[in-house]
Amino acid sequence: MLDPVSNNIVVIDLETSGINPFQDEVLSVAIVPLTLPAPPCVVYVRPQHDEIHWSQFAKENFKKFAANWNEKAVPAVFALEKIEQYLNQTFGQGCVTAIGHNVGFDVAFIRKLAFLAGKNELPGISHRALDTHTMLYLLYLNGHLPVSALSSDGAFEYFGIKISESNRHTALADALATRELVLKLLELLTNTQRSR
């Protein structure tokens, strides 16, 4: 049984044009409540400049969601407004805590998005965050997971979380799969505590 505090945890996943927030761009943001029965939020972001710096992987991966992006992408200031509205409508005036796989990456780009919208941070999202990789690594160190489960792909496979290749590395599909992973990790952590 999860604590009511878990109602204020959201899974966040971003797709970007590369891995460097100083030169690369936010392209899409997905936010999925961990336990609150509310719909997810997906926002597509149009960079300020037409000339986007791309990594090879990101450029190829972009094809998976390019149609939605071309139709729905908005500038950073409007993207941030959409995210704020979603958080306010879903969680009220409270602050949510983000969780994700290698979440530091997502947080860095969220901060860039806020900066581009004229703010120092994204209101409604705590400066604290939880990382599934850390959870996986601790379970591995304590002998509860194989080393192959440390990557997101490996963890999804180990826990039987299905995600089609056509949707893998799209913000919403990855956030939904990560939500499922978090719930399985919390269950595993609870069971390992009980077995002591």
Burial of 160 (0-12, 13-18, 19+ CB in 10 A): exposed
Which value, to the nearest 10 degrees, does the dihedral of the CA atoms of residues 75, 78, 83, 89 take?
Answer: -160
Rg, C-alpha atoms of the chain: 17
Residue 186, CB-side half-sphere exposure with 13 Å CA sphere: 16
Q: Which residues pair with 125 in a beta bridge?
A: 96
Both tokens assigned to 91 = 């969680």
Both tokens assigned to 103 = 């979440």
**Which CATH code of 3.30.420.10, 3.40.50.620, 3.30.950.10, 3.10.20.30 fits the domain covering 4-194?**
3.30.420.10
Does 29 score more than 90 pLDDT?
Answer: yes
Give the Cα-Cα-Cα angle 35, 39, 42 (nearest 5 degrees). 115
Does 162 score more than 80 pLDDT?
Answer: yes
Count of positions (residues) in the chain: 196
Convert the pLDDT of each residue in 40-85 to its tens digit: 999 999 998 889 999 999 999 999 999 999 999 999 999 999 999 9
* pTM, to two decimals: 0.94
**Rounded mean pLDDT of the chain?**
93
